[in-house]
Structure 1
């Protein structure tokens, strides 16, 4: 308090509260990113499993029978002939055709990147939570210090 040259507990509490708001904002953004990654990773794994299955059946002559989702709870049957090409959704309404091997490599790279990103987000969230807890303790200490200071001033004035 004295190091800042500012004895006003209200000013210090205001600065701490601003910092607390920033931490809460960062925590919200990290939680949003974590939720997105937790839904993205299973989708990538599913796509990778499908590409691996198609690769294993590439030399077969029998078509692969499957069902695919047309819309909510509406499926269609399909027979997929053996192929060495697949199309992947990249996002933003973009789909590209890849060879099965290139698709496998791309999906493995994306899965690894998403997993690393999820690990980093969880570490960042842990750090933010620690910082928030420390900040909240400091806010309580400053508030209690100010209460004691005011009580001491009130006692000395009435003496």
Structure 2
């Protein structure tokens, strides 16, 4: 559970800056005037390959939704969608952090309890050995290890 929660938190920490950056871009596109000159921009096509493009004033954007799906959204709807996705991701990250803290506490509690049971068993065996009852009486009392 701890590894799964940690993995989910790492994924969210990677995703949140991307959503935030996309939201800022949509806000910028929304703020442009009708008579603004086209923007000159570079788009990443691959890890090392970029294309130069001119972006005119636009009223819609295309957003990747995942699973090779891209949809067109009007700028106000895109901004609303991205805000909700950002809030959901931040909330989920907070929950992951709380869950991780809780799991760490529980793991520590379990380890301490296991150590106490082990130490108790060691002390009981020493007492039995010291009292000279190491001759098989332990089996008669229901202890298979004697």
Structures share fold, TM-score greater than 0.5: yes
SS in 2 for 1:86: strand
Task: Show the counterpart of 1:122.
Answer: 97
Deviation (angstroms), 1:58 = 4.8
Task: Show the counterpart of 1:59.
Answer: 34
Question: How far apart, CA to CA, are the structure 1 residues paired with 2:48 and 2:104?
Answer: 40
**Which protein has the larger Cα radius of gyration, Structure 1 or Structure 2?**
2
Residue segments in structure 1 that go unaligned for 5+ positions in a row = 1-25
Task: Show the counterpart of 2:115.
Answer: 140
Higher helix share: 1
Deviation (angstroms), 1:68 = 1.1
SS in 1 for 2:72: strand
SS in 2 for 1:71: coil
Residue segments in structure 2 that go unaligned for 5+ positions in a row = 135-146
TM-score, normalisation: structure 2? 0.88
TM-score, normalisation: structure 1? 0.81
CA RMSD of aligned residues (A): 1.3
SS in 2 for 1:61: coil
Task: Show the counterpart of 1:10.
Answer: none
Quick check: 1:65–1:78 contact (8 Å CA) kept in 2? yes
